[in-house]
Structure 1
Amino acid sequence: MTKENGKPQIRFAKFKDTWEQRKVSEIAIEKLSNGIMNNQSDDETGVKHINVINMYDTDKIHPEKLTFSNYDEEAVKKCNVEFGDIFLTRSSLKPEGIAEANVLLDSGHFVYDDHLIRLKVNKEKYDPFFVKLNLSGNAFKRQFIVRAKTTAFTTIGQEDISECLGFFPKKEEQQQIGEYFMTLDHLITLHQRELEKLKILKKACLEKMFV
């Protein structure tokens, strides 16, 4: 992003409008909030828990990877997790790991961890997947690091994140950018699966040829 005119260095040709600068608080429909303590269940329940570890998938939060929770529907209602909610890590061992962002693009019954901060964006104007990409970029990361506090861990609060600034295009451009990167993520996943199959094939061949 070029700071002088609010336009990115590369973009899809049909878009010409200047990107507008916004605080995180200005794209949200409510204050950022922390979740609740993990209350993991060994049995399958109807409620899944979004944890810190789920922030590190590069594309989105995967419900099939979430653990089940003992919390009931009252906790689900209180957390009010919805499609398009964005979550950020509250603490990290290293400053550069602060405020890792990921997005939920599925519906269901969820609660989220007290070590996470939840951002509900105005989905009429902002595409959640684009916002997640934006929050993961260097411009936001630098601001997160400056605002974070470091002792044994590096931590950041809701207000610190709310005050950070970023550039945002019109929603149509956000969606096209999001679709482009989502397609890349899909291709990466497909190639990773093919790579794993080839590794297994190689191992099997080696074991049978060199006994």
Structure 2
Amino acid sequence: MTEQAKVPAIRFAGFTDPWEQRKASEVFQIVDDRGHPTLPVLSATQNQGMIYRDDSGRYIGHDESNEIGYKRVLPGDFVVHLRSFQGGFAHSQYEGITSPAYTVFRAKEPTSHSDRFWKHWFMSEHFIAGLSTVTYGIRDGRSISVDEFMNTFLAFPAVEEQAAISRLFDYLDDLITLHQRKYDKLVILKKTMLEKMFPKDGESVPEIRFAGFTDPWEQRKLSEVATFGGGHTPPMADPDNYEDGYVLWVTSQDVKSNYLDRTTTQITEKGAKELTLYPAGSLVMVTRSGILRHTLPVAELRKPSTVNQDIRVILPQGECCGEWLLQFFISHNKELLLEFGKTGTTVESVDFGKIKDMLLYMPSTVEQQQIGDFFAKLDSLITLHQRKLELLQNIKKSLLDKMFV
């Protein structure tokens, strides 16, 4: 570390002293305190630090008689665990015991060091990337050489500045957790409502309906309420098909959310000359891609677009509401993939010819519109919280880069 690197790019007002640089072995000490089998067992996690094993949601078979040899962990301690090369060192808020295979360490002078300051640093991308210099083994067998880590240099400010920094990142973590919970609840709500607002197999009415709708849903072929289209790849050897292009061209890698308003690649008017420009409101379905091992991606175009040969386009007609049809495909994703997925092919694909003739239950156009509007608003809320969450995560990442050295 150079002299110039001993102060961070961003600091709280009032702090001007350069950060100290010490070997990790001067700041921390390894502890090996055993013989406390009555303490609760702690498990190491990548994102939550040390948690009670009973709260981990996983059953881990073990011999309780061996717990006499487990290592004691105190609040403020750090644990080097099997996944530290991916998630950093696990911070503990709890007293307990953990696997004897792990290394436990703590500050030599707790009054001079904020464990929460070090917690944020030890879980940062920058620190984890630096662990490669003290890591041995390959792939999932990688381990941290604690002895080598103890010989590396760490930079830190006075404890007062450490406390100010940790308070900021604790606050950011609380905000991130809050928005993550809101996002998760909305995703669960949508999943539940999709299950209840579309009829189950063998039924012609859903469990939940908007007031005023009582008629049974009618069975129709998809080909009776929609038309279909496709596309191809303009010759890539001709740069005039792509350079400075502005026409959206959808490929399988673009269909990652329910709504699509941008593409990885744009093509020129020349490249689009022999392609159909499909209007906004059309649905695009991935019919050939490795992603079909897991899911059947479908999205609604928000802007006019062309497509390549791995995409099929569904254009709702007349009494069919596009937003409702989109939610139908989302709600029946697994069943459709199971029924129409092709087996024994080199690349995963679905039989779109059969999808065109599939039977589906449909309500009146008015009820379709209400259902479609409901889920569109729910999707907007989910997207809003997802963006807030991503923004907070990016802010935290940026500040970690600028407030540590």
TM class by shorter chain equals 0.7 to 0.9
Quote the Cα distance in structure 2 between the aligned partners of 1:98 and 1:209: 41
The one-letter code sitting in structure 2 at the alignment partner of 1:55 is: V
- The Cα shift of 1:34 comes to 2.6
SS at match of 2:255: helix
2:371 alignment counterpart:
177
Number of aligned residue pairs: give it.
201
1:61 alignment counterpart:
260
- The Cα shift of 1:20 comes to 1.3
2:211 alignment counterpart:
13
2:302 alignment counterpart:
105
2:268 alignment counterpart:
70
The one-letter code sitting in structure 2 at the alignment partner of 1:169 is: P
**Contact kept? 1:24, 1:163, Cα under 8 Å:** yes
Distance 1:171 1:67, change over 3 A: same
Quote the Cα distance in structure 1 between the aligned partners of 2:381 and 2:403: 33
1:91 alignment counterpart:
288
Cα RMSD after superposing both structures = 2.7
Greater length-normalized contact order (CA 8 Å, ≥ 6 residues apart): 1
1:134 paired with 2:328, answer yes
**Contact kept? 2:272, 2:306, Cα under 8 Å:** no
2:121 alignment counterpart:
none
After alignment, is 152-161 or 32-41 more displaced? 32-41
Quote the Cα distance in structure 1 between the aligned partners of 2:251 and 2:384: 25
**Contact kept? 1:98, 1:154, Cα under 8 Å:** no
SS at match of 1:135: helix
2:314 alignment counterpart:
119
1:23 paired with 2:217, answer no
2:278 alignment counterpart:
81
**Contact kept? 2:247, 2:272, Cα under 8 Å:** no
Distance 1:201 1:143, change over 3 A: closer
Task: Give the fraction of aligned pairs with identical amino acids, expressed as a percent.
Answer: 27
- The Cα shift of 1:19 comes to 1.2
Distance 1:207 1:73, change over 3 A: closer
Quote the Cα distance in structure 1 between the aligned partners of 2:292 and 2:265: 27
Long gaps (5+) in structure 1: none
- The Cα shift of 1:146 comes to 2.4
Long gaps (5+) in structure 2: 1-198
Q: Which protein has the larger Cα radius of gyration, Structure 1 or Structure 2?
A: 2
- The Cα shift of 1:18 comes to 1.1
1:192 paired with 2:386, answer yes
- The Cα shift of 1:95 comes to 5.0
Q: Normalising by structure 2, report the TM-score.
A: 0.45
Q: 2:250 aligns with which of 32, 50, 61?
A: 50
The one-letter code sitting in structure 2 at the alignment partner of 1:158 is: F
Cα deviations by residue, 1:130-175 (Å, 9 ceiling, x for unpaired): 111112222x642442233222222223311112222111111111
**Contact kept? 2:249, 2:308, Cα under 8 Å:** yes
1:165 alignment counterpart:
359
Cα deviations by residue, 1:24-82 (Å, 9 ceiling, x for unpaired): 11211x3x333111556241x3422122122221x31113x452113438736x51412
SS at match of 2:335: helix
Quote the Cα distance in structure 2 between the aligned partners of 1:200 and 1:99: 30
**Contact kept? 1:48, 1:68, Cα under 8 Å:** yes
Distance 1:99 1:5, change over 3 A: closer
Distance 1:81 1:202, change over 3 A: closer
